[in-house]
Chains A and B, each alone.
Chain A
Amino acid sequence: MRISFADQKDSALLSINQNQEETTRLSNEISTGSKLTAPGDDPSAWSQSMNFRQGLREYDSILNNIDYATGWNQATDSALNGMTDLLSQARQTAISAQGANGMEDPSALVSSLDGVLKQMVSVANSQYGDQYVFSGTAGSSTPPFSLNDTTGVVTYSGDSGHIGVKTDKGSGSSFTVNLSGDEAFDFQSGGQTLNVIQEVWKLKNAISNGDTTTVAAELGTLDTASQSIGQQSVVTGSRLATLQNQQTAINVLKTDGQTRLSDLSDADMADAITQLQQYKTAYQAALQVTATMDNVSLLNYLTT
C-alpha cells in the first residue's frame, strides 16, 4: 500500500490530536473531580444526578423545617411548664388563704397573685424568634393575650389556626407545629370553657373580697386547669419525639442521596489518573514517531 506524503502528515496529526483531546478531557475530570461535564457525557447519569441534587436541596429545606418545628415546640414546652409552675404558686396562695386562722393579710396574698398573673400573661405571650408562640396563625405584631385587671376579662386576639410545615419528603399533609392560644390555655370544667388566667384572677378577686367559698371552688378548678396544661405538654412532647425521628430518617436519606450522587457524578480518581498516564504515554509516543518519521525520506540517503 502506498502511503502518500499528504496522508502521512495528516494521520500523524490525527493521532496527536486524539491523544491531546483525551488527556485534556481526563485532566479536566481530575481537576474538577467530576466525570460529568455535559449532559451528552452520560445522559441518564446526568438527569439522575440532577434529581438527586434537587432531592438533597429539599432534604436541607426539610431539615430546616424540622429545626424550626423543634425550636417552636421546645419554646411551647417551656411556656407550658412555666404556666404549670405559676398555677401551683396560685394554688399555694389559695391554700394559705384558707389557713386555720381565717384570711390573714389578704393584701399580701393579692399582691403575690398580681405577680403570678403578670407572669402568666407574659408566659402566654411567649415568643419564638419574633413570632408569638400561642397566637395561632394570626401572626399579629401585638401580643395575643391581654388581661383587663378590673373586669378579669382575658382577651385572645389570635386565632385557632395551625401552622403546618413540611417535615417529610412527599406531597402528603404537613406537620402541625403550634398550639393555638385557646388550645393551650382554655379548658373545660363543669360544661364551661374557662381560661387559666381568668380563673387565677377570679381567685385573686375572691381573696381580695374575703370570699372563702369561691376560693375553695377555685382551688378545684385550678387543679383541672393544671391537668389540661399537662395534657398539652404531652402533645408537645410527642411532637418533639416525632420530629427527632424524622430528623434521623431525613439525615439517613440525605447521606444515601449524597453517596448515590457521588457514585453518579464524581470522578473515579484512580481510574482517571491511570488512564491519563496511558494517554500521556501514547501522546509522547505519537510525538516521538512524528519527529522520527519526519526525518525519514529516501532523499536523505541519496548523494548527488
Chain B
Amino acid sequence: MRGLFKRFKEGLKRQTPTFQKAFDGIFSGAKLDSDALEELEEALYTADFGAETVQEIIEEIQAAYKADKSMRGEDAARIGARVLEQVLEGAEGRVTVGQHQPEVICLVGVNGSGKTTTSAKLANLYQNDGYKVLLGACDTFRAAANEQIQHWANRLSIDIVSSQHGADSAAVAFDAYEAAKSRGRDIVILDTAGRLHTKSNLMKELEKLHRVIQKQEPSAPHHSWLVVDGSLGSNSIEQARMFHKSFPLTGLIVTKLDGTSRGGAIVGIYRELKLPIYFVGLGEQPDDLQPFSAANYARAIFGITDETA
C-alpha cells in the first residue's frame, strides 16, 4: 500500500503548483488585512473547491492568525490541509470483492470524462490482484467506442462482451452479466456511453440499464461510479446530482489529475452528496489508477511534504 500512496502523491505533485508560494507572499506582510484575505481567497479558488470550503479554510486560518501573529505560509498551508482532510472525512471508498458473484461495477459520466480508459485500467487493476474480470462494452452510441474498448481488452487480455454500433446498451449489459455468471467471473465492469446530464432521454436510457441489471440480480449494480473529469469546475456537482437521480451512485472516480488541475470539484460533490471517491486517474498508463486517500490528496494539494504532519 505504501508504494501506491507514494505514487499517488507523486502524480499529483508532479505538476500541481502548491499553495505554499502564494501563502508565503500573503503572510510575509505585517497584518492579515482585507486585501491579504482576498488574495488568500483567490488562491484557494484556483483549486475549484467551491465557496463553502474556501470560506471554512479562510475562517480557520484567520482564527489561527489571531492566536499567533507570527504565522507563516507553511502553517497556513497546514491548516488548509487539515480542514480539507476534515471535509473529506469518510470520502475514501474501498471495495471488498467477493461478496457477490459476479460483482457488478458500472461506470457512468458525461462525454469525454474518461470512462472507457478507466474501465480498462480498473479491469487491469483487478486482474493484477488475481480476480477474473469481464468487460461489458455498453457504449453503443459513439463512433468507434466499441473498437476503443476492444483494443484495451486485447492489449490487457481481458474478457469482453460487446455488440454492434447502435445496439441497445441495456441488452449488452444483460449479455455481459449472463456471460460473467456462466463463465464464473468475479467482477464485471460495464462501460456506458458518455451523456450530458441535461439530456433527459439519455438519462432515461441509463434508468433502463439499471432496471435491466436489477432484474437479473436485485442487489446489482453493486457499484455505480460516476467518472468525473478532474479539470472541470463547479458543473461537476450538477453532473453528480443529476446522475445520482437517474442512476443511484455509490461513488466517484476522478480522472485526469495528472495535469495542473487539482480536481477540487470533488470536494463540493462530497460535501453535497457524500459520495466516496474510490479511485483517481493519474496518467495514461494502465496502472495509473490509484485508490483515493483523503490525507494524501489534502497534503499534495497544499504542498505539505513531510510524512509526519
Do A and B pair up? The answer is no
